[in-house]
Structure 1
Amino acid sequence: LHAWAEHMQREYGYTHLQSFDAQQTRSLIASKRYCAAVLDDFGGHLHPLNYTLGLGRAALNAGVVLHEQSPVISVKPAAQAGGGKALVQTAQGSVRARHVLLAGNVQLGNVAPRLSRRIMPVGTYIIATEALGAQRAKSLVRNRACVCDTQFVLDYYRLTGDDRLLFGGRVSYSTATPRDLAATMRRSMLAVYPQLSDVKITHAWGGFVDITMNRAPDFGRIAPDVLYLQGFSGHGLALTGMAGRLAAEAIAGQAERFDLFTRLRHKPFPGGDLLRTPALVLGMLWYRLRDLV
């Protein structure tokens, strides 16, 4: 971990990282689990749903029309659809567009099967505790930073504005939600913070991220008028904002920055449609066992 911080400073000139030993780490995080830490005092964390709703309001104010509950059945570039524009077909009707941007995460399915084979849906899950009170919440993470560890299947957590602990982790590579999700996640939380054994869990939920084989984003074009953005691999909150800007630039005719990402090469997950999920589950089990050891 400290070697990574030194690499970031040396190779990229990122000077905002502070390396801590075990004692310094425990002065910030009230857990005996960690032997070291790196603090990024230039980073931050926010409420992702509120951020997304804010983007939606900004889009509406700019004149965008949102059509929710309208799953796309097919997309045909202008060269195939005729009429000089791409054709987007839904169950309720169709739309003609000069440009189409596919940003469907793991939901592209039959709309773009060639693309969907290059990503895997990985479930990640979160619990929220009852409100702890300001003093007890601050005792867990004294500077209220967000935290993640270095396991392959990592834990991640932060404090909310109303002094709850949000605790995430326990991924699923089989697309099946773990049984008794709240209890399963609570055990993970208590492994870090056993002092929370008396605290109730009030919420538990999850969703899917789209990962690529190399964990790098997969941006590109199906046709000159059909672009796609996928493979955010757990970096979505920051990366999608940048991706949207690059796609907008490309549509407007300034594609230099977008094209840098299109040069990244991505392969389909091995095993085909039938075996790729079981193969991934077995492979990830190996890494999970390494985490436990």
Structure 2
Amino acid sequence: MTAPDTYYARTAAERRVRPSLTGREEAEVAIVGGGFAGLTTALELARAGVRVALVEAEGVGFGASGRNGGLVSPAFAGGDAAIRARVGPEAARALHLLSIEGVERLRATIRDLGIDSSGLVPGLLSLRRFDRADDLKAHVAEFADDYGYRISYLDRVALAEHVTSPRYFHAIHDPNAFHIHPLNTLCAIAAEVERLGGQIHEGTPATGVGLDGPVKRIETPDGRIEAARIVFATGGYTGGLVPRLKRAVLPIATYMMATEPAPDLIASAIRTRACMYDDRRAGDYYRLVEGGRRLLWGGRITTRAADPAGIARELRREMFTAYPQLEGLRTEIAWSGLMGYARHLMPQVGELAPGVWHISAFGGHGLNTTAIAGKVLAEAMLGESDRIRLFAPFGLDWAGGPLGLVAAQLTYWKLRAQDWWRERG
């Protein structure tokens, strides 16, 4: 694989190249995967004085962690209703509180490490494309009553202060959410892991494992790591090294594009610096960057790799539908990346075997959830808490293989059709 050409790669504050692993290395914990899940776990363990060594097949942030929309807000991709149906109201509430904690943990990490290059900007608008608001108002009240979490409802008049669009009728504003440059943030976290004594090896695929006995091992092309415990954090790029993990993850492609610099034109449509997503079940997400000079726009999923330029044409149609005044705005770059999804749409966090841990499947809502999942996994490994039990009902269910990918694509098309029908009324 070659390094992806993305807006984030082009604007990276620093791109350190780390040496691959050669020879034998010892650690207390070995981690496979250099995305947010693996590096957050490494950071939490290193802060506790644990000697960690991490291997990444490509480079830090190569996968979805370095290519995503950059939106950080509470919730899980599984959705409140589905989570409640699976685990009951009490556990569902505890999980949602974890998702809120994840937002604050990532914010605190950015603040404490002084990651100015994260470009953190507060605020999120959830935009509605049909004229109904009673459920939005109830949602605002519920979050205040159940979680002490303050969000606000915006009618069309209030929304017009933020955007000029014929497509949006109502919105919810979350001032606690924020958006970031994910690759810069992740690279700074990696540097902190190294400052604390952790080892990170890039260009180092794991080619074999030994998971039995008191000392585990990870084999690589030119060396090995031996450790008492191993963590697999490979997401949408999970290979066949541990078959049970591969069977549990669906690799789903998503797409983004960045426009040319055009601050005056963009301001004619979007004046808010908050990130935005429409609340369709198969919707888009977008945000301004560089102080409003460019627009990043993401959406669509496919289960087979598609041409990013072709998908960008579809995203542009969505953008012009929402903001006709932007029709002259050119796309400068488009890219894609693989997210890891479980069949139940929840993170998979737990112990696969004694001393063998996994943290994966953060597709669709990864930045806050990796922040908290890495924390609770580290707590479990250190014997500090049993909060990891909240993820136990969301295990390594078989994702369906090729049939699972077909089902995922059909589900996505069904959701798009349902969105169209709902907005048609």
Return the TM-score normalized by structure 1: 0.89
- Residue in 2 that maps onto 1:223: 353
The 2-side partners of 1:234 and 1:112 are apart by 23
Task: Verify: 1:214 aligned to 2:344, yes or no.
Answer: yes
- Cα distance, 1:259 vs structure 2: 2.7
- Residue in 2 that maps onto 1:19: 153
- Residue in 2 that maps onto 1:88: 218
- Residue in 2 that maps onto 1:29: 163
- Cα distance, 1:179 vs structure 2: 5.7
Contact 2:245 2:396 in 1 (8 A): no
User: Which has the higher mean CA deviation after the structures are superposed, 31-40 or 245-254?
Assistant: 245-254
Alignment of 1:1-293 (within 5 A): 1-2=135-136, 3-14=138-149, 16-79=150-213, 84-133=214-263, 135-162=264-291, 163-177=293-307, 180-265=310-395, 267-270=397-400, 273-293=401-421
Contact 2:208 2:219 in 1 (8 A): yes
The 2-side partners of 1:113 and 1:43 are apart by 36
- Cα distance, 1:90 vs structure 2: 1.8
User: Which has the higher mean CA deviation after the structures are superposed, 136-145 or 203-212?
Assistant: 136-145
Residues 244 and 193 from structure 1, CA distance in 2 versus in 1: closer, same or farther, beyond 3 angstroms? same
Contact 1:128 1:204 in 2 (8 A): yes
Return the letter of the residue paired with 1:62: L
* Partner SS, residue 27 of structure 1: coil
Contact 1:214 1:266 in 2 (8 A): no
The 1-side partners of 2:396 and 2:324 are apart by 42
- Cα distance, 1:127 vs structure 2: 0.8
* Partner SS, residue 187 of structure 1: helix
The 2-side partners of 1:259 and 1:228 are apart by 13
Residue ranges of structure 1 left out of the alignment (5+ in a row) = none
- Cα distance, 1:113 vs structure 2: 2.0
Return the letter of the residue paired with 2:340: D
The 2-side partners of 1:258 and 1:101 are apart by 14
- Cα distance, 1:240 vs structure 2: 1.1
Return the letter of the residue paired with 1:173: T
User: 1 or 2 for the larger relative contact order (CA 8 Å, sep ≥6)?
Assistant: 2
The 2-side partners of 1:209 and 1:196 are apart by 29
Contact 1:138 1:144 in 2 (8 A): no
The 1-side partners of 2:402 and 2:391 are apart by 29
* Partner SS, residue 179 of structure 2: coil
Give aligned-pair identity as a percent.
32
- Cα distance, 1:10 vs structure 2: 2.6
The 1-side partners of 2:142 and 2:343 are apart by 24
Return the letter of the residue paired with 1:292: W
> How many pairs align?
285
RMSD (Å), alpha carbons: 2.0
The 1-side partners of 2:289 and 2:182 are apart by 12
The 1-side partners of 2:313 and 2:239 are apart by 32
Residues 56 and 30 from structure 1, CA distance in 2 versus in 1: closer, same or farther, beyond 3 angstroms? same
Return the letter of the residue paired with 1:232: F
1:113-162: CA deviation from partner (whole Å, max 9, x where unpaired): 212222211211111111122x5444433231100011121100000025
User: Which has the higher mean CA deviation after the structures are superposed, 233-242 or 34-43?
Assistant: 233-242
* Partner SS, residue 31 of structure 1: coil
Residues 203 and 224 from structure 1, CA distance in 2 versus in 1: closer, same or farther, beyond 3 angstroms? same
Residues 110 and 286 from structure 1, CA distance in 2 versus in 1: closer, same or farther, beyond 3 angstroms? same
Contact 1:99 1:225 in 2 (8 A): yes
- Cα distance, 1:165 vs structure 2: 0.5
Contact 2:252 2:338 in 1 (8 A): yes
Residues 103 and 206 from structure 1, CA distance in 2 versus in 1: closer, same or farther, beyond 3 angstroms? same
Residue ranges of structure 2 left out of the alignment (5+ in a row) = 1-134
The 2-side partners of 1:45 and 1:241 are apart by 14
* Partner SS, residue 42 of structure 1: strand
- Cα distance, 1:13 vs structure 2: 2.2
The 1-side partners of 2:327 and 2:384 are apart by 55
Return the letter of the residue paired with 2:413: L
The 2-side partners of 1:237 and 1:185 are apart by 23
